[in-house]
């Protein structure tokens, strides 16, 4: 088969039929669908077997329970025959032309493909859809943001082997794999055709992963100094000042990325990423919302929570933030200097064994 579609599942029962049917309806015929059932305890395996009896390109691969989709994906990949790999989570669906679009792009030279998507709730009502701006890609954008959920991504088979396969990490295993592929020099081709339908729900794993690292902005000798500085920093009188500083840094950063040959626009889009990003920041909360007071090797830090998969990834995000946000960090330091603030050594805060101080200021945890 030309394309191997990998679908990990657990206790999906009859609901998995619509996911399987979306693959069976593909206009491109040369595919196999490997359903890796992660120790399901309901009738999911029986449902998949029943469907595969009528559609032999669908194959059930029962596995021992892992409680994480990475290992079931690796097990399915070991049995895959396609030179192109596509992924489909068990509550998502493909539009009938999805695989044909992927194959056309790979045949045209693409290594990694990310397609646009529509988010719908459990009743099928559309909540939002991907934008052309959000489909822009660069290795640094990939480093800083969990871009492209698994069902939206396909790639040449050898890329996953080169990167070392899927790793079991504490969340965002797709971000972890795309980042390792990017580190090997592979680049995304993106298309904002909405060929993937995804379930939008706040209770998904992506929304429940705890933040294990912190990005320190400034540090203090005493926690009370940090508390007072946090209250001052988050007051309304500094919002516009901080937002303006953030936009200055963002314009310079994006301009640098766009000059790079690695910067990717979605096929056929000629819009201005800088303008779109500035509009988004202008409408968003203050750039330093959500700060917490955390213990730091240099004292007590005002820090931003980082939702990233590994300590190495956190190290790289912290270094990039301190390099690319000089104007914003300068304003933060100026506002908090009367409380004894100073810049930290550039290292992330690990939360293992440590607790953030509870604060009463808004936007903290």
Residue pair 312/180 in contact by the 8 Å Cβ criterion = no
- Asked whether the whole model's pTM tops 0.85, one would answer yes
Cα 58 from Cα 50, distance rounded (Å): 10
Question: What per-residue confidence (pLDDT) applies to 225?
Answer: 97
Question: What per-residue confidence (pLDDT) applies to 361?
Answer: 38
| pLDDT tens sequence across 149-171 | 999 999 999 999 999 999 999 88
Residue pair 175/146 in contact by the 8 Å Cβ criterion = yes
At a CB cut-off of 8 Å and minimum separation 6, what does 30 contact?
A: 1, 2, 3
Residue 281, pLDDT > 80, answer: no
Question: What per-residue confidence (pLDDT) applies to 349?
Answer: 56
Q: What is the mean pLDDT of the chain?
A: 91
| pLDDT tens sequence across 117-149 | 999 998 889 999 999 999 999 999 999 999 999
Most confidently modeled range among 100-109, 285-294, 336-345: 100-109
Cross-strand bridge partners of residue 189: 113
Mean pLDDT value across residues 92-114 = 98
Listed range (59-68, 278-287, 288-297) with the worst mean pLDDT? 278-287
* Domains of the chain: residue spans and CATH: 3-206 (3.90.550.10), 213-350 (no CATH)
Residue 73, pLDDT > 90, answer: yes
Mean pLDDT value across residues 79-89 = 98
Residue 70, pLDDT > 60, answer: yes
8 is written with which tokens?
């990990």
Residue pair 179/166 in contact by the 8 Å Cβ criterion = no
Mean pLDDT value across residues 31-45 = 98
Reported residue count of the chain is 365
| E runs forming strands in 95-237 | 112-120, 126-129, 153-156, 188-199, 213-220
CA angle 173, 101, 148 (to 5 degrees): 25
| pLDDT tens sequence across 166-205 | 999 988 999 999 999 999 999 999 999 999 999 986 655 5
């Amino acid at each position: 088969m030309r394309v191997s579609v990998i679908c990990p599942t657990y206790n999906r029962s009859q609901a998995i039929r619509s996911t399987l049917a979306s693959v069976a309806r593909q206009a491109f015929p040369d595919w196999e669908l490997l359903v890796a059932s992660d120790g399901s305890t309901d009738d999911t395996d029986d449902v998949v077997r029943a469907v595969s009896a009528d559609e032999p390109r669908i194959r059930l691969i029962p596995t021992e329970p892992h409680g994480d989709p990475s290992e079931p994906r690796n097990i399915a990949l070991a049995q895959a025959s396609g030179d192109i790999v596509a992924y489909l989570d068990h509550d998502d669906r493909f539009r009938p032309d999805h695989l044909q679009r992927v194959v056309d792009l790979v045949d045209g030279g693409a290594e990694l493909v990310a397609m646009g998507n529509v988010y719908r709730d459990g009743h099928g009502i559309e909540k939002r859809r991907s934008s052309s701006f959000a489909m822009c890609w660069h290795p640094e954008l990939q480093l800083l943001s969990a871009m492209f959920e698994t069902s939206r991504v396909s790639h040449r088979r050898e890329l996953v082997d080169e990167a070392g396969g899927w790793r079991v990490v504490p969340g965002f295993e797709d971000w972890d794999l795309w980042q390792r592929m990017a580190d090997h020099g592979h680049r995304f081709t993106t298309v904002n055709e909405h060929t993937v339908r995804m379930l939008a729900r706040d209770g998904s794993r992506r929304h429940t992963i705890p933040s294990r690292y912190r990005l320190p902005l400034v540090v203090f000798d005493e926690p009370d100094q940090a508390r007072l500085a946090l209250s001052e920093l988050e007051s309304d009188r500094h919002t516009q000042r901080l937002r303006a500083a953030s936009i200055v840094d963002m314009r310079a950063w994006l301009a640098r990325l766009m000059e790079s040959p690695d910067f990717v626009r979605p096929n056929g889009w000629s819009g201005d990423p800088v303008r779109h990003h500035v509009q988004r920041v202008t409408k968003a909360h203050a750039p330093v919302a959500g700060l917490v007071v955390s213990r730091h090797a240099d004292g007590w830090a005002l820090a931003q929570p980082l939702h990233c998969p590994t300590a190495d990834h956190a190290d790289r995000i912290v270094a990039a933030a301190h390099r690319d946000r000089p104007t914003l960090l300068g304003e933060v330091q100026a506002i908090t200097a009367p409380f004894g603030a100073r810049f930290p050594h550039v290292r992330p805060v690990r939360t293992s064994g440590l607790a953030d101080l509870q604060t009463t200021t808004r936007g903290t945890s």
